[in-house]
Amino acid sequence: MSRKKSRIGQMQVLFQMDINDDFSIEGLETFLENFDFSKTEIDYIEKTVPVILEHIEDIDNKIIENLHTWSFNRLAKVDRSILRIAVYELLYRDDIPSEVSINEAVEISKEFGSDESPKFINGILGSIYRNL
């Protein structure tokens, strides 16, 4: 299993949900039916995305607390999706080192975000990490 590819899948499904304003399990199932992931990647995405959705209010509040001069609604949906995954890992996954979660989020933002995304995401996640 590629954990990075699984994280990208998580980001893509959260992005789709955000675009459609539909954070349902049905949206997750539809996404997985239409994209190519290995069995272990699908298992990981199916296991983690429902937990992210279950805690999305707490995750979003943690992001909002650390935005300072930025509005949550002004965040690019790609950046918001990447942040949600990393904050989920920081708050709820003791088996993933914080540094790995932050680094993976920054790397994914280099691929899918804007030119400013990596620095922005690193700053927000660094702030959250220091405050934990």
Which of the listed CATH numbers 1.10.940.10, 1.10.3720.10, 3.40.50.1370, 3.40.50.720 matches domain 3-131? Answer: 1.10.940.10
Distance in angstroms (rounded) separating the CA atoms of residues 105 and 110: 9
**Residue ranges of the alpha helices (H) in 1-132?**
3-20, 25-34, 39-54, 56-65, 77-92, 98-112, 117-131
Q: How far apart are CA 99 and CA 35, in angstroms?
A: 29
For the chain, which residues make up each domain, given as ranges? 3-131
The answer to whether the beta carbons of residues 44 and 3 sit under 8 Å apart is yes
Q: In this predicted model, which residue has the larger pLDDT, 51 or 4?
A: 51
129 pLDDT more than 60: yes
Output the pTM of the full model: 0.95
List pLDDT tens digits, range 64-88.
Answer: 999 988 899 999 999 999 999 999 9
Question: In which band, very low, low, confident or very high, does the pLDDT at 1 lie, cut at 50, 70 and 90?
Answer: low
With a cut of 90, say whether residue 3 has pLDDT above it: no
Cβ atoms 62, 91 nearer than 8 A: yes
pLDDT at position 69: 85
Residue in 84, 82, 34 with CA at minimum distance from that of residue 58: 84
For residues 3 and 20, the model is more confident at 20
